């Protein structure tokens, strides 16, 4: 029952704790009071078992409720059962402009045979109705006026002709017609909302309707710490070897999205004393502490050591991907979550472990995540024995098709554009195959107007830049384009293996000078074939090439290869003429790749933009132009 927010992906198996760590001799222990040990993840704890251990050791404690103005309650969690002390509507309310009557007096009225009634006065909206009526009488009312005593219905103004202080009624009304009766929305003492309800704008509408100006709420204060000497605040210049701090931003905003109160404590360097002080402060000021990074196997990974010193490490290392080295601990009775450092790992650790815990703290109602069924558009390989989460992008075909949002690992920018993710249970060994049904947990609305899938080159970038509408972009190589063409997905596709309506002849070139360090195209790219042919011309097999040449990178796009050469990361690479020119690199032409551009009807505008851009790049295009 406690794990109701977790994926019921498996039955829990008994687990061996994570006991084995061994000391490596002399690992620069300068700043650490205790001996530095290198942790080895031999046994990974099952996610559900670990979560239950955490609940047992640190039962979720509900923070003190506090009262806020209704307008400030959006997104928080109700900390009280809300009972209405009034009836809504509070009095019989008219729902049209017209004349309040005793319905009996209108019976038999028709276009040819109107009924004549005496007008006794008017009740304006917002006034108390004091005029009483009897059969044969009427009172003029506005929409929302209080129904006068003695009336039981309202004749709309359209069916009435005013004659001095009398009216002619051309239609009969039945008792109750055009009246909203008290208690029909809510009756006094009715339980309207219950504790744990997430306050949305609709809940606020309900609360305002029953006159609640203030409301008791809960949230959880969550201290957020990023760790690492390599982290630089976005907006500042990025020195070599450094990366921007993503987790402070993604974790605090995700917590806010779920109605919690993040307290970002910034980036703490990999320094034992500083980290310890930061953790102590965090535990003092927050209900829950979330750190990211510094949880893994390296001697610089300090979080679990410090948590162990200040309190207790409950679990370290989960059968979970991405984010295996996550640590669940407690200091002074407060839970401390040491999330893995990679931004995607930290994100999924938060989503699947921290948020479910926080929801128990605010007694949130269990809600089922938004999911859709999709057909797998790719092979998805699970991490052995680990519950694996893979960000996916959905294209429409016959239902949805799920593609990996990136063909690279830890590709947070690509993931940030994904529609959702799939979860492969830890019990599954075999990959998810193309065509298999998968369930996709949605991040948002996956619908779209235009999409592109397949191989890319700079002319595709140019086309997307000039195209004025948003395009769902899946540069995942030839395979994606081929599948899209076979299954007629709602997209434009580009691939040598696809069927299409136009052929683009892309000139393939080499850049740089033949040397040992070679920038290799990703095997999903149309350029890969040219790399293989090059090896063949040198009398090399791929296996021998790997021995003799230094393969620097496996690049999904011609642009990335140019970048590698330009920056001196590689000496030699395979790319396209247009990309080489865009990067100002001298090139040598080695062949032509014939790529097919195809599209589903309705995608013509995007396809035309891409074809035009290919022509502008100087490629031969058939049958276009
Ligand atoms: N020898 C081993 N190495 C690693 C193992 C292992 O089992 N044995 N596990 C790998 C796995 S799996 C993961 S996940 C990572 C997690 O490592 P840490 O949690 O200790 O995180 P860091 O090493 O500090 O960082 C990892 C990576 O993420 C970047 N990072 C960290 N914080 C941020 C941030 N706030 N914003 C952006 N990027 C961040 C950091 O620069 C690193 O590149 O360990 C593997 N290694
Ligand atoms: O668990 Mo780590 O996130 O696989 O890379």
Mean pLDDT value of segment 377-383: 95
Residue 324 Cβ < 6 Å to ligand 2 = yes
Which of 247, 323, 352 to mutate for ligand 2's pocket (most ligand atoms within 8 Å of CB)? 323
Residue 15, pLDDT above cutoff 50: no
pLDDT bin (cut points 50, 70, 90) of residue 23 is very low
Taking the centre of ligand 2 as the mean of its atom positions, its distance from the CA of residue 383, in whole angstroms, is 9
Residue 323 Cβ < 6 Å to ligand 2 = yes
**What pLDDT sits at residue 515?**
85
How far is Cα 79 from Cα 64, in angstroms, rounded to an integer? 9
Nearest CA-CA partner of 395 in 379, 419, 414: 419
How far is Cα 450 from Cα 492, in angstroms, rounded to an integer? 8
Residue 345 Cβ < 6 Å to ligand 2 = yes
Residues with CB under 6 A from ligand 1: 41, 226, 228, 230-231, 243, 245-248, 292-297, 301, 322-325, 340-343, 345
Residue 607, pLDDT above cutoff 80: yes
**Percent of the chain beyond pLDDT 70?**
93
Residue 608, pLDDT above cutoff 90: yes
Residue 32, pLDDT above cutoff 60: no
Give all strands (DSSP E) within 429-563, no chain letters: 437-442, 450-454, 471-474, 492-495, 502-512, 517-521, 550-555
- Number of Cα atoms under 13 Å in the Cβ half of residue 52: 14
Residue 76, pLDDT above cutoff 70: yes
Give all strands (DSSP E) within 364-448, no chain letters: 371-376, 387-397, 399-404, 420-424, 437-442
How far is Cα 144 from Cα 89, in angstroms, rounded to an integer? 10
**Nearest listed ligand to the Cα of residue 389:** 2
- Number of Cα atoms under 13 Å in the Cβ half of residue 570: 26
* pLDDT one-digit tens code per residue, 486-506: 999 999 999 999 999 999 999
Mean pLDDT value of segment 70-95: 97
**What pLDDT sits at residue 366?**
81
Residue 296 Cβ < 6 Å to ligand 2 = no
Which of 21, 231, 329, 340 to mutate for ligand 1's pocket (most ligand atoms within 8 Å of CB)? 340
Nearest CA-CA partner of 594 in 460, 523, 496: 496
- Its CATH class, for the domain covering 47-61+219-361, is alpha beta
Mean pLDDT value of segment 452-479: 95
Mean pLDDT value of segment 528-538: 93
ipTM of this complex > 0.90? yes
Pick the more confident residue, 146 or 300: 146
**Nearest listed ligand to the Cα of residue 298:** 1
Residue 606, pLDDT above cutoff 80: yes
How far is Cα 123 from Cα 100, in angstroms, rounded to an integer? 9
Pick the more confident residue, 593 or 538: 593
Mean pLDDT value of segment 85-113: 96
Mean pLDDT value of segment 213-236: 97
Residue 386 Cβ < 6 Å to ligand 2 = no
How far is Cα 510 from Cα 516, in angstroms, rounded to an integer? 14
Give the domain ranges of the chain. 47-61+219-361, 66-88+185-218, 93-180, 451-622
**Nearest listed ligand to the Cα of residue 251:** 1
Taking the centre of ligand 1 as the mean of its atom positions, its distance from the CA of residue 218, in whole angstroms, is 33
**What pLDDT sits at residue 24?**
31
**Nearest listed ligand to the Cα of residue 296:** 1
Mean pLDDT value of segment 319-329: 96
Residue 387 Cβ < 6 Å to ligand 2 = no
**Nearest listed ligand to the Cα of residue 294:** 1
Residue 93, pLDDT above cutoff 90: yes
Residue 383, pLDDT above cutoff 80: yes
Question: What's the Cα-to-Cα distance from 186 to each of 85, 86, 190, rounded to whole Å?
Answer: 9, 8, 6
Atom of ligand 2 nearest to the CA of 383: 4
* pLDDT one-digit tens code per residue, 561-577: 999 999 999 999 999 99
Mean pLDDT value of segment 460-473: 95
Mean pLDDT value of segment 576-581: 96
Taking the centre of ligand 1 as the mean of its atom positions, its distance from the CA of residue 324, in whole angstroms, is 10
Q: How many C-beta atoms lie closer than 10 Å to residue 284's C-beta?
A: 12
Matching CATH topology for 66-88+185-218 and 93-180? no
Q: Which CATH architecture has domain 66-88+185-218?
A: Alpha-Beta Complex (3.90)
- Its CATH class, for the domain covering 93-180, is mainly beta
**What pLDDT sits at residue 300?**
73
Residue 389 Cβ < 6 Å to ligand 2 = no
* pLDDT one-digit tens code per residue, 138-169: 999 999 999 999 999 999 999 999 999 999 99
**Percent of the chain beyond pLDDT 90?**
85
CATH 3.40.190.10 fits 451-622, yes or no: yes
Atom of ligand 2 nearest to the CA of 322: 3
* pLDDT one-digit tens code per residue, 391-446: 999 999 999 999 999 988 898 988 999 999 999 999 999 999 999 999 999 999 99
Mean pLDDT value of segment 101-108: 96
**What pLDDT sits at residue 96?**
97
Mean pLDDT value of segment 586-612: 96
**What pLDDT sits at residue 39?**
66
* pLDDT one-digit tens code per residue, 43-57: 899 999 999 999 999
Mean pLDDT value of segment 24-49: 61
Residue 40, pLDDT above cutoff 90: no
**What pLDDT sits at residue 43?**
87
Atom of ligand 2 nearest to the CA of 324: 1
Mean pLDDT value of segment 260-274: 96
Taking the centre of ligand 2 as the mean of its atom positions, its distance from the CA of residue 324, in whole angstroms, is 5
Which of 296, 298, 342, 350 to mutate for ligand 2's pocket (most ligand atoms within 8 Å of CB)? 342
Which of 43, 296, 303 to mutate for ligand 1's pocket (most ligand atoms within 8 Å of CB)? 296
pLDDT bin (cut points 50, 70, 90) of residue 22 is very low
How far is Cα 558 from Cα 527, in angstroms, rounded to an integer? 8
pLDDT bin (cut points 50, 70, 90) of residue 265 is very high
Beta-carbon contacts of residue 75 (< 8 Å; ≥ 6 apart) = 198, 199, 200, 256, 257, 259
How far is Cα 548 from Cα 534, in angstroms, rounded to an integer? 14
Beta carbons of 52 and 3 less than 8 angstroms apart: yes
Atom of ligand 1 nearest to the CA of 338: 19
pLDDT bin (cut points 50, 70, 90) of residue 37 is low
Question: What's the Cα-to-Cα distance from 448 to each of 122, 393, 462, 491, 524, rounded to whole Å?
Answer: 53, 11, 20, 10, 25
Nearest CA-CA partner of 310 in 343, 287, 335: 335
Residue 616, pLDDT above cutoff 50: yes
Tell me how far apart the terminal alpha carbons of the chain are, to the nearest angstrom: 64
The protein residue with its alpha carbon nearest to ligand 1, atom 17, reads 296
Nearest CA-CA partner of 521 in 619, 466, 465, 590: 590
């Amino acid at each position: 029952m406690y794990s109701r927010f977790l994926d019921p992906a498996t039955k829990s198996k008994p687990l061996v704790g994570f006991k084995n760590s061994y000391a490596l001799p002399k690992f620069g222990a300068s700043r650490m009071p205790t001996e530095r040990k290198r942790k080895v993840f031999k046994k990974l704890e099952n996610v559900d078992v670990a979560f239950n251990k955490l609940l047992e050791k640190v039962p979720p404690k509900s923070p003190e409720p506090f009262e806020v103005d209704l307008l400030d309650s959006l997104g928080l969690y109700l900390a009280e059962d809300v009972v209405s002390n009034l009836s809504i509507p509070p009095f019989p309310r008219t729902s049209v402009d017209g004349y309040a009557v005793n319905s009996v007096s209108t019976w038999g009225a028709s276009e040819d045979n109107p009924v004549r009634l005496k007008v006794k006065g008017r009740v304006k909206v917002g006034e108390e109705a004091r005029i009483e009526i009897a059969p044969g009488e009427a009172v003029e009312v506005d929409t929302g006026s209080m129904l006068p005593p003695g009336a039981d219905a309202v004749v709309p103004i359209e069916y009435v002709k005013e004659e001095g202080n009398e009216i002619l009624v051309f239609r009969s009304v039945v008792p109750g017609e055009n009246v909203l009766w008290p208690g029909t929305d809510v009756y006094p003492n009715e339980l309207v909302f219950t504790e744990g309800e997430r306050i949305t704008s609709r809940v606020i509408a309900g609360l305002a309707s029953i006159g609640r100006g203030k409301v008791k709420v809960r949230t959880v204060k969550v201290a957020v710490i990023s760790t690492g000497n390599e982290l630089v605040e976005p907006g500042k210049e990025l020195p070599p070897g450094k990366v921007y701090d993503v987790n402070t931003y993604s974790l605090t905003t995700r917590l806010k999205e779920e109605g919690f109160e993040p307290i970002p404590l910034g980036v703490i360097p990999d320094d034992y004393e500083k980290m310890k002080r930061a953790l102590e402060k965090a535990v003092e000021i927050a209900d829950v502490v979330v750190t990211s990074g510094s949880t893994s196997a390296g001697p610089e990974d300090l979080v679990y050591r410090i948590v162990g010193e200040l309190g207790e490490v409950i679990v370290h290392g989960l059968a979970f991907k991405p984010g295996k080295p996550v640590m669940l601990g407690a200091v002074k009775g407060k839970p401390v979550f040491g999330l893995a450092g990679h931004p995607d790992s930290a994100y999924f650790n938060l989503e699947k472990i921290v948020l479910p815990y926080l929801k128990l703290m605010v007694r949130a109602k269990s809600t089922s995540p938004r999911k859709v069924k999709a057909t797998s558009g790719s092979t998805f390989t699970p991490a052995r024995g680990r519950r694996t989460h893979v960000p996916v992008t959905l294209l429409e075909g016959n239902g949805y098709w799920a593609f990996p949002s990136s063909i690279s690992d830890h590709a947070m920018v690509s993931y940030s554009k994904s529609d959702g993710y799939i979860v492969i249970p830890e019990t599954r060994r075999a990959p998810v195959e193309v065509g298999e049904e998968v369930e996709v947990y949605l991040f948002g609305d996956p619908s779209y107007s235009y999409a592109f899938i397949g191989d890319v080159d700079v002319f595709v970038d140019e086309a997307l830049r000039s195209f004025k509408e948003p395009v769902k972009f899946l540069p995942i190589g030839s395979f994606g384009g081929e599948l899209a063409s076979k299954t007629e997905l709602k997209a434009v596709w580009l691939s040598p293996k696809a069927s299409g309506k136009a052929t683009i002849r892309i000139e393939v070139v080499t850049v740089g000078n033949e040397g040992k360090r070679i920038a290799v195209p990703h095997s999903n790219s149309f350029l890969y074939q040219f790399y293989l042919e090059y090896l063949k011309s040198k009398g090399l097999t791929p296996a021998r090439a790997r021995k003799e040449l230094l393969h620097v990178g496996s690049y999904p796009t011609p642009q990335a290869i140019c970048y590698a050469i330009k920056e001196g990361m590689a000496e030699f690479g395979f790319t396209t003429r247009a990309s080489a020119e865009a990067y100002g690199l001298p090139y040598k032409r080695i062949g032509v790749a014939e790529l097919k551009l195809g599209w589903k009807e309705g995608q013509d505008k995007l396809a035309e933009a891409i074809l035009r851009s290919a022509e502008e790049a100087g490629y031969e295009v058939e049958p276009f132009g």
